[in-house]
Amino acid sequence: MKKMIRAVGAGALALGLAATFGAGIARADDKVTLGVAIPTADHGFTGGIVWWANKAKSDLEKAHPDLKIIVKTAANAPDQANQLQDLVTVNKINALVIFPYESASLTQPVAQVKKQGVYVTVVDRGLTDTSAQDAYVAGDNTAFGRIPAEYLAKELNGRGDIVALRGIPTTLDNERWTAFTSVLKHYPNMKILDAKYANWNRDDAFRTMQDYLTRFPHIDAVWAADDDMAVGVLKAIDQAKRTDVKIVFGGAGSKDMVKRVMDGDPLVRADVSYSPKFIYDAIRMTAEARLAGKALPAKTIIPSVLITKENAKEFYFPDSPF
C-alpha cells in the first residue's frame, strides 16, 4: 500500500490532511456510519475501486471503533440510486462516499441524500450540480486528457490520423475529452477521424476498434482513454493484422499496460497514471474528518503524470488488482 500511495502522490496529501484534521481520533460519543456507493467490478479499473473500498472498510473499522462502513456496489445507475435510499433509510448513514455510476442521473438522488443531513464526498465521476456534494476527490482528469494529446503530437511530429475511444457520458470523461482536443487544436495536421464511447470496457472497445479499422484504411494512433479499452483495441489491431497503427495510448496505469511500457512494447510506449486507490483515500479522509467533526476541502485533486519506460518501474505494482 505504501508504494501505491507514492504512485498517486497521496503521501504529501495524507500529511497535509493529518495537519488539518488531526489524528482523526473520535471522542467516545462520536459515531460515524459511512456509506460507500460504487459501481460493480465490470472492468479492471472498477475492480480496483471495489478492492480498495473494501480494504478501506477493513483498515479503518479496525483503527476506529466508532466507525461503521457499509460498501454497496451497483450494476447500473438506477440500482445505485435505490441503494442510496436504503443507505439513508435502512442503514441510517451520516456520511457518504460515492463514485457515481453516471453523473447526470445520480445528481438528484445524491442531492436528496445531502438534504437528509448526510455529509457527501463525491469521487471521480463528478455530479452535474456541485451543490449536491460537500467535497470532491479525483485524479487529475485534465492532465489525463492533456498528457496523451501532447505525447501523440510529439511522437507523430504534429501530423497524423487519430481515432479515439471515450468512456461513458460523465463529467470526468468530458473533462478528459476537452483537454485532449484542446491540445490538438494547436496541431492542424493532426486529425481525429472519429470518437465513440466504448464504456471503459474491453469488449466494447474491441468492437469499436473493429469498426474503425473497417472504415479507415489508415490510422496512425489510437487514444483509448483507459487501459481496459486499450486491451480491446490491441486485440482488434492484432486480429486485423494492421501495421499502420504506430501508437495505442490508454490510461490509468494498470499493471499490464505499465509492464508493456517497461518491456518496450512498440505500440504501448507510454501511459498516464490514475490509480483506483483514490477511493481508499477518499473514504479515509471523509471518515477521519467526520470523526473529528470537521470538513474536507471542497476539492482534492491527485496528480496524473506521464508514464514512460524511464519511470515505469515506479508505477508497476504486480500484486495490485489493477
Mean residue pLDDT of the chain comes to: 90
Whether residue 281 is predicted with pLDDT greater than 90 in this model: the reply is yes
For 35-76, write each residue's pLDDT tens digit: 999 999 987 789 889 999 999 999 999 999 999 999 999 999
Q: What pLDDT band is residue 8 in, cutting at 50, 70 and 90?
A: very low
Whether residue 211 is predicted with pLDDT greater than 90 in this model: the reply is yes
The per-residue pLDDT for 30 is: 66
Q: Are 276 and 258 in contact (CB under 8 A)?
A: no
For 295-309, write each residue's pLDDT tens digit: 999 999 989 999 999
The model's pTM is 0.71
What one-character-per-residue DSSP string does 138-189 give? EE-HHHHHHHHHHHHHHHTTT-EEEEEEE-SSSHHHHHHHHHHHHHHTT-TT
Please tell me if the domain spanning 2-139+275-302 has the same topology as the one spanning 141-272.
yes
Task: Select the more confidently predicted residue: 288 or 8.
Answer: 288
The per-residue pLDDT for 321 is: 78
Classify 2-139+275-302 by CATH class. alpha beta
Each domain of the chain, given as residue ranges in start order, spans 2-139+275-302, 141-272
Whether residue 149 is predicted with pLDDT greater than 50 in this model: the reply is yes
Query: H helices then E strands: how many in the chain?
Result: 11, 12
Mean pLDDT, residues 74-88 taken together: 97
**67-74/306-307 β-pairing:** unpaired
CATH architecture of the domain with residue range 141-272:
3-Layer(aba) Sandwich (3.40)
